[in-house]
């Protein structure tokens, strides 16, 4: 399931929820809505128990009521009710069961959306609050856009930019050429500790320079063959992994925050 499909499902979910905003419905409308919800929940992957409970809640039920003076019959479908002298069902209360089902469905879609992303959404959220990290956030957003569009060239280009932006967080590395920054990381354990990375990550970044050099931003003539998309994804993932490690166990962000 790709991002476009997930967005379409989210729109469907919103439309189905909107049915409950109306206070009056006819019986055939409720039946059609319940059927549509059940079919939607199946496509999303909702648990069978939840789907069954939802359907059972909206099954047609008849009740005898007595006011002490007269008795009458009402028909109920979930949180909708109609009397003997009326044709339209009125909403008598909010539907706890529907809210549970829709909340679970929304959670499943959010999880699917996260699984389909290359860039974890939590990184963008964490860095978006600070203006000094906007260049990193912009690179991350472009990388995700390139990934969804399967744009290998854009993915490679913006991965290089992201790596530059991450390494520039260290003022001693800022302004240097990329290959010199990486060489400094290789030989300087304090720099590796600053970014929370081990030598394996640095060596992997260094080994990926061949691809970066061949398909660089400043190429002088068009290449006959494109870099495969999976290679571009691997390069991007490696840089994002470095950023995750810097945020999780590095010192560079804490150092910058202390300097503000």
Query: Domains of the chain: which residue ranges?
Result: 3-114, 117-259
For residue 227, what pLDDT band results from cuts at 50, 70 and 90? low
Residue whose pair of structure tokens reads 């059927």 in the numeric block: 35
Quote the percentage of the chain above a pLDDT of 90.
57
Residue whose pair of structure tokens reads 């945020």 in the numeric block: 247
Can you tell me the mean pLDDT for 149-168? 91
Distance CA 174, CA 236 (A): 21
Tell me which residue of 233, 14, 3 sits closest to 115, measured CA to CA.
3
Q: What is the pLDDT of residues 42-101, one digit of tens each?
A: 999 999 999 999 999 999 999 888 777 777 889 999 999 998 778 899 999 999 999 999
Query: What kind and span of H or E run contains 64?
Result: strand 60-66
Residue 76, strand partner residues: 61, 81
Terminal-residue alpha carbon distance, the chain: 42
Report the interhelical angle of 229-249 vs 121-128 (nearest 10°): 50
Q: Provide φ and ψ at 72, rounded to 5°.
A: -155, 170
Mean per-residue pLDDT over the chain, rounded: 88
Angle at 124 between CA 189 and CA 159, to 5 degrees: 60
Asked whether 55 and 34 are in contact (CB, 8 A), the reply is: yes
Looking at the whole model, is its pTM more than 0.85?
no
DSSP 226: P
Distance CA 124, CA 202 (A): 23
Distance CA 150, CA 147 (A): 5
Distance CA 164, CA 175 (A): 9
Tell me which residue of 60, 73, 58 sits closest to 20, measured CA to CA.
58
At CB < 8 A and 24+ separation, what contacts does 220-229 make?
Answer: 226/152, 226/153, 227/152, 227/153, 227/156, 228/152, 229/150, 229/152, 229/155
Q: What is the pLDDT of residues 83-95, one digit of tens each?
A: 877 889 999 999 9
Predicted pLDDT at 145 = 93
Asked whether the predicted pLDDT for residue 217 surpasses 70, the reply is no
Asked whether the predicted pLDDT for residue 103 surpasses 50, the reply is yes
DSSP 25: E
Q: Provide φ and ψ at 83, rounded to 5°.
A: -90, 175
């Amino acid at each position: 399931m790709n991002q476009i499909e997930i967005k379409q499902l989210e729109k469907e979910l919103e439309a189905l929820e909107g049915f409950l905003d109306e206070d009056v419905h006819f019986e055939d409308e409720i039946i059609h809505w319940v059927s549509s919800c059940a079919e939607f929940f199946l496509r999303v992957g909702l648990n069978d128990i939840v789907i069954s409970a939802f359907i059972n809640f909206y099954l047609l039920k008849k009740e005898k009521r007595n006011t002490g003076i007269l008795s009458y019959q009402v028909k109920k479908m979930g949180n909708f009710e109609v009397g003997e002298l009326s044709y339209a069902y009125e909403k008598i209360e909010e539907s706890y069961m529907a809210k549970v089902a829709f909340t679970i469905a929304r959670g499943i879609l959010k999880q699917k959306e996260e699984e389909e992303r290359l860039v974890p959404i939590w990184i963008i959220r964490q860095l978006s609050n600070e203006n000094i990290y906007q260049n990193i956030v912009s690179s991350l957003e472009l990388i995700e856009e390139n990934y969804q569009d399967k744009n290998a060239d854009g993915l490679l280009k913006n991965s290089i930019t992201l790596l530059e932006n991450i390494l520039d967080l260290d003022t001693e590395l800022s302004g240097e050429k990329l290959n010199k920054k990486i060489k400094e990381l290789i030989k300087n354990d304090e720099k590796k500790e600053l970014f929370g990375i081990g030598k394996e990550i640095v060596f992997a970044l260094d080994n990926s320079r061949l691809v970066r050099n061949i398909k660089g931003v400043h190429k002088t003539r068009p290449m006959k063959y494109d870099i495969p998309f999976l290679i571009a994804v691997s390069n991007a993932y490696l840089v994002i992994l470095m950023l995750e490690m810097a945020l999780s166990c590095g010192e560079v962000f804490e150092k910058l925050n202390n300097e503000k």
